[in-house]
Amino acid sequence: MRAPYISYPEPNVVAVSEEDVAPPGAGELLCQAERSLISTGTELTCLRGLFDPGTNWASWVRYPFRPGYSMVARVVAVGPGVEAPAVGQRVLLGTPHQGLTLTAPDQAYPVPDGISADEATWGILACTTQLAVRRAELALGETVGVVGLGLLGQLIVQYAALSGARRVVAIDPVPLRLEAAAAHGATDAIAGTAAQARDRVAEITHGRMLDAVWDVTGHPAVLSQCVQLLRPHGRVVLTGDTPTPTQQVLGPGVLSNSISVLGVHGNSYAPHYTEVTPWTRREIIALFFDFMLQGRMRVADLITHRYRFDQAPDVYQRLREDRTGAIGVILEWSQA
């Protein structure tokens, strides 16, 4: 079978091509794409191709490169030995933007009835951001900040509110993103950079400053700015992975104020379920879907743009030029 896929043949070039896809073998599923979500920060970083040597980016992004890792598809065929998921079932996949995917059953996460394909595409990013909030080890009633309100930042705002934060301070220079955060659990919105937000954070907290802050920007200059927003013994969680860490500095106050600098990666979930480590990727995604069904998290209104997959070269070019008006950007692969 022939199927389309999106790739970066080289830095700053986007192509839509076709490939042959074999029928599923033993223990495999064949899934047909319905919707995929562009992770704008990550995918544009991969497209630019400017990474420090030795970074995760430099080892991961090799051209030709296939972007994307959050897709909803429908199972269209199964190989021998596969009992579930069944043909016709919708599943969430952590695969690139492509029309057909061969995968193992344990890499396909069932999408419940009541959740649209558009909404379900957020599941992989919801996994990353849930891990980021767990990493902060929030205590009930803490006041926290989220710097950078793209897709990840919007989800962290919601998870922080669900986790019992007293106040969730959203910080971003883009009004659209601030409005979205305020509609999804942020109690305070500050227009500007983390550096520009310091006085307002002091005012909001009566000089106490934040207990924890997530740096979701991926910009090397922001870590040191986030440190200045914290109280002594506060925590900063690096959720946006900068491609140029050689330009990243801690700034003053980390040692004197006993600040904790924590990192989180989307693959840092428990590899296998145990009573001690229950939060596998499957369990984290299932929790996100439960929160959606219960109405305690919302993403449908965070989708700002949708395009056909074959428009990808133009879509990425527009995002490169200006992504301030974009939060959730969906690629459509079928009429589902």
Residue 138's CB: how many other CB atoms inside 10 A? 18
CA pseudo-torsion sign 300, 306, 310, 312: negative
User: Under DSSP, is residue 102 helix (H, G, I), strand (E, B) or coil?
Assistant: strand
Distance in angstroms (rounded) separating the CA atoms of residues 201 and 206: 8
Residue 272: its pLDDT value, please?
84
List pLDDT tens digits, range 301-321: 999 999 999 999 999 999 999
User: Worst-scoring range by mean pLDDT, 62-71, 243-252, 271-280?
Assistant: 271-280
Contact 111, 120 (CB under 8 A): yes
User: Under DSSP, is residue 327 helix (H, G, I), strand (E, B) or coil?
Assistant: coil
pLDDT of residue 218 exceeding 80, the answer is: yes
Residue 336: which pLDDT band, with cuts at 50, 70 and 90? low
List pLDDT tens digits, range 97-114: 999 999 999 999 999 999
* Average model confidence (pLDDT) across the chain: 96
The identity of residue 282, as a single letter, is: R
Q: Residue 20's beta-bridge partner residues?
A: 2
Q: Can you tell me which residue has the tokens 């919601």?
A: 158
pLDDT of residue 275 exceeding 90, the answer is: no
18's enclosing H/E stretch is: strand 15-20
pLDDT of residue 258 exceeding 90, the answer is: yes
Contact 52, 58 (CB under 8 A): yes
203-228: average pLDDT: 97
The identity of residue 76, as a single letter, is: V
- φ, ψ of residue 67 in degrees (nearest 5): -80, 165
Q: Can you tell me which residue has the tokens 């419940």?
A: 112
